[in-house]
Each structure stands twice: as C-alpha cells, then as structure tokens.
C-alpha cells in the first residue's frame, strides 16, 4: 500500500484538493493519501471548498492538520505544493514538489484553474505509479 502525504504550509487549499482527488481516483487497494501542513489553518479556504463542490467533492468537513511524525509513519511519498523554503521535509520519504499557486483569496476563475492543475498532477502521478482505479 502506497501512502502519500500532500503537504503545504496551511493545509487549507492545494494539499486538500490533491489528497481528495488522489483518494477519489486511486485504487484504494493500492494507495491512499492524507494532507497536512506545517502551520495548519483553521479551515479549508471557502473558495477551495466551492470549486471542489463543483466537481462533486465535499471538503466542508475537511480539517487542516499538522504534519507530525505519527502522520508520516508508513508513508513512502511526500508531495509539497510549491511553498518554497516553508515546505516540509520528512527524512526517508521520496519527495516531489508541484509548484502550484496558493488559491487563498483568489478569484473563483483562478481557483478553478488551480483545481484543474492539481487534478492533472494527481492523474499523472497515479499513471506513473500504476495505482489508478480500473475503469
């Protein structure tokens, strides 16, 4: 079982979208994802909730959480969301960085564009790892 952590600073936007898409599209027998942040926010950004709702994913009850050693246990891959020097590092994990714009406070059209970029990155990852759900 591949465990992936999607992480950014506040865990209130990009990483939440990535984990939600991953868990929707990955074969649950082969992989699962969690999202976390180094300085978790209080809630998922409203604009992120809105654009994810448009594609049938409800993040109203998703809670930003801190990236801890316990959370990282058993994970094999850490994907950061373009947060530069503030991006978390977890020793021993394979790491990739997706340089995505932070959606916080952006107009809804831009947040949709970021959402679609996140979905594309997740889809590519699932294909590379061979863990997409069978149709």
Q: What is the pLDDT of residues 1-53, one digit of tens each?
A: 999 999 999 999 999 999 999 999 999 999 999 999 999 999 999 999 999 99
> From the CB of residue 70, how many other CB atoms can be counted at a distance below 10 Å?
8
Going by pLDDT thresholds of 50, 70 and 90, the confidence category of residue 87 is confident
Of residues 93, 95, 73, 71, the one with CA closest to residue 82: 95
Of residues 102, 18, 105, the one with CA closest to residue 62: 18
For residues 72 and 43, the answer to whether their CB atoms sit within 8 Å is no
CATH topology of domain 2-129: Rossmann fold (3.40.50)
- Whole-number pLDDT of residue 32: 97
């Amino acid at each position: 079982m591949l465990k992936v952590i999607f992480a950014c600073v506040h865990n209130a936007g990009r990483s939440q979208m990535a984990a939600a898409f991953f868990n929707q599209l990955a074969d649950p027998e082969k992989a699962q994802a969690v999202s976390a942040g180094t300085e978790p926010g209080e809630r998922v950004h409203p604009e992120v909730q809105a654009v994810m709702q448009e594609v049938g994913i409800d993040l109203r009850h998703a809670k930003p959480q801190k990236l801890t050693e316990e959370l990282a246990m058993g994970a094999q891959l850490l994907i950061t969301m373009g947060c530069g020097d503030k991006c978390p590092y977890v020793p021993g994990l394979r790491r990739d960085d997706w340089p995505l714009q932070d959606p916080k406070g952006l107009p809804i059209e831009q947040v949709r564009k970021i959402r679609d970029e996140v979905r594309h990155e997740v889809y590519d990852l699932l294909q590379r790892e061979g863990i997409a759900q069978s149709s």
